[in-house]
Amino acid sequence: MRRYGEAPAPDSPRIRSDGATLRRLLPYLWEYKGRVLAAIAFMVGAKLANVGVPLLLKRLVDAMALPAGSPTALLVVPVGLLLAYGGLRLANSVFSELRELVFAKATHGAARAIALKTFEHLHALSLRFHLERQTGGMTRDIERGVRGIESLVSFALFNLGATLIEVLLVLFILARQFDVWFAAITLSALALYIAFTVGVTQWRIQFRRQANLFDSAAHSKAIDSLLNYETVKYFNNEAFEARRYDESLEQLRRAQLKSRSTLSMLNSGQQLIIAVGLVAMLWRATEGVAAGRMTLGDLVMVNAFMIQIYIPLNFLGVIYREIKQNLTDLDKMFTLMDKEQEVADAPGAVALAGLDAPTVRFEDVHFAYDPARPILRGVSLTIPAGKTVAVVGPSGAGKSTLSRLLYRFYDLQDGRITIAGQDIRAVTQQSLRRAIGIVPQDTVLFNDTVAYNIAYGRTDATQAEVEQAARAAHIHDFIMSTPQGYATMVGERGLKLSGGEKQRVAIARTLLKNPPILIFDEATSALDSANERAIQAELRQVAQGKTTLVIAHRLSTVVDAHEIVVMEAGRIVERGTHAALLAQGGRYASMWALQQNSSENTF
């Protein structure tokens, strides 16, 4: 059993094959197929130039095989070979740079496309996914995945692929120009090197995955703790938060140490294989020169070929490890993209219509966030076009759930919700949410300016329209009293503003949106009595002619509603006007009496 406060073990992700991950990536790169093909051509050109260098070096050495101090030495200096040698060196560098230049747009474009698609998909996922997900770890997965795309292409194509081309060219030249033993020794050493590298790296990749998981867990704890800075201070739990963070860092440190120690073992084994291969090749070449079968230039060429091959191979372990790590990081991002939408548009979904005077109906609605705990039990209510219906009741009665279902953040287990006679499951979510405006009980603002947060209700609004909405929400004077006015930053989640100020910003942006359906979920709960009365009058004015659902605890704010619905334990127990419900002497009447007698005016 896990102790309170102890970090849960990171979930073990489903791991797709490397081939499947690459197949997911290729279509994004192939959108730039012209650049891809050009980059491959430049890469091949660079390797041909690189392989040509030892061949020219051999001819230079053989041409210069003259006695020391010979007066004819200057006459036989192969100027053309020297120029060609320098030209090949230059061509190798030029082709490599052209390859990077041409392919940069493809890699960055693919990274941008995948990151954008992941971001859009995350916004398309249900509220349940985001409530259960740790945002810090999720953003870290996206960050590593985007970075992995650029590294993966560079390592896989331009390092591993280029090395493979060069090795094949060298093997062909050695087998053709000398005897098959040169190619056999080289091929055997390469095969052993690759097998050892792949085998050990495949074993080591588990430590990378563990490190990723613990890194995301540590990042999530840090972000969550900093976002809840005030709560940490309220309960004097700085040391507790530091301890939880340190536990994750310690798990990360152990995983990283395992990765580093096994890397040393991998590097040692690789160097041993390279050393044996080089000794065998040079022994064979030296023996050939001594026997007269090979020239001194041949020996120099073989040595140059071995250096050109084995220097990149020194990094093969790093390259392969990076490729595997990048594939792992990319797979995590693709896993996010593969998350199934719990709430999706139905095939053939149409835009919501008939919004001039929409009537909203909840028809025998049953719903539960968890099947073991039903929230709504057969709720039926109608909000007539242009009328205001208030829903009251104790906490946990299911009032706020009505607004979440109307927005279709969740789908019902049974029953249906209609707007203007259309089942909301049969229309597009975009058109549905465009038709509804809400002032939520818990107002969260973006860490941007006041103007930005108000204009979020309608992003194409003018400054004059933003100010008009602010005046209607009775916050314009406060904004103008600040040094920067509408350019004032509100802080993380709006923490620089008071609860009442945040709520008035939320009211302003909903007024700016001006939708045909309004939801006020405790819209004035954070306001003082004077401001509450002023804004209630403004809200009543705004609600004129609009279909309005008001969710309230304070009954004094809903006495003018056309109908008041009383909910308890997910059921409607009473309904009627304020006067009619008082006359009944039932649950509403008792709540009204309790609030009238309460100094805090709450129940």
Which amino acid is located at 252 in the chain?
Answer: L
DSSP symbols for 240-299: HHHHHHHHHHHHHHHHHHHHHHHHHHHHHHHHHHHHHHHHHHHHHHHHHHHHTSS-HHHH
Of 475, 505, 511, 507, which Cα lies nearest the Cα of 490? Answer: 505
* Joined tokens for residue 453: 């947060």
Of 463, 499, 258, which Cα lies nearest the Cα of 490? Answer: 499
Q: Which residues of 77-91 are buried (b: 16+ CB within 10 A; e: fewer)?
A: eeeeeeebbeebeeb
The owner of tokens 């053939």 is 348
Pairing of strands 547-552, 517-521: parallel
Distance in angstroms (rounded) separating the CA atoms of residues 64 and 297: 9
Given this model, what pLDDT does residue 336 score? Answer: 78
The owner of tokens 């400054």 is 463
SS (HEC) of 151-164: HHHHHHHHHHHHHH
Given this model, what pLDDT does residue 525 score? Answer: 65
Alpha-carbon torsion, ordered 577, 578, 579, 581, to 10 deg: 80
Of 408, 297, 235, which Cα lies nearest the Cα of 57? Answer: 297
Given this model, what pLDDT does residue 66 score? Answer: 54
Task: Render pLDDT for 8-35 as a digit per residue (tens, 0 to 9).
Answer: 444 444 556 667 777 778 787 788 888 8
Given this model, what pLDDT does residue 218 score? Answer: 83
Q: Which residues of 326-335 are buried (b: 16+ CB within 10 A; e: fewer)?
A: bbbbbbbbbb
SS (HEC) of 467-479: HHHHHHCCCHHHH
> What are the C-alpha distances in Å from 28 to residues 41, 112, 325, 361?
20, 10, 20, 45
Q: In 352-483, where do the E strands start and end?
A: 360-367, 376-383, 388-392, 414-419, 422-423, 436-439
Distance in angstroms (rounded) separating the CA atoms of residues 565 and 362: 13
Given this model, what pLDDT does residue 6 score? Answer: 41
Distance in angstroms (rounded) separating the CA atoms of residues 320 and 312: 12
Q: Provide the edge-to-edge strand list for the sheet that holds 563-568.
A: 436-439, 517-521, 547-552, 388-392, 563-568, 571-576
Given this model, what pLDDT does residue 500 score? Answer: 77
Spans in the chain with pLDDT lower than 70? 1-18, 63-82, 85, 126, 130-138, 140, 157, 230, 313-318, 321, 493, 523-532, 534-535, 598-603
* Joined tokens for residue 210: 């563990």
Domains and CATH numbers, the chain: 18-337 (1.20.1560.10), 357-435+553-603 (3.40.50.300)
Of 381, 375, 391, 388, which Cα lies nearest the Cα of 554? Answer: 391
Provide the phi-psi class of 292: left if phi over 0, else alpha when psi is between -120 and 50, else beta: left
List residues bridging with 568 in a β-sheet: 571
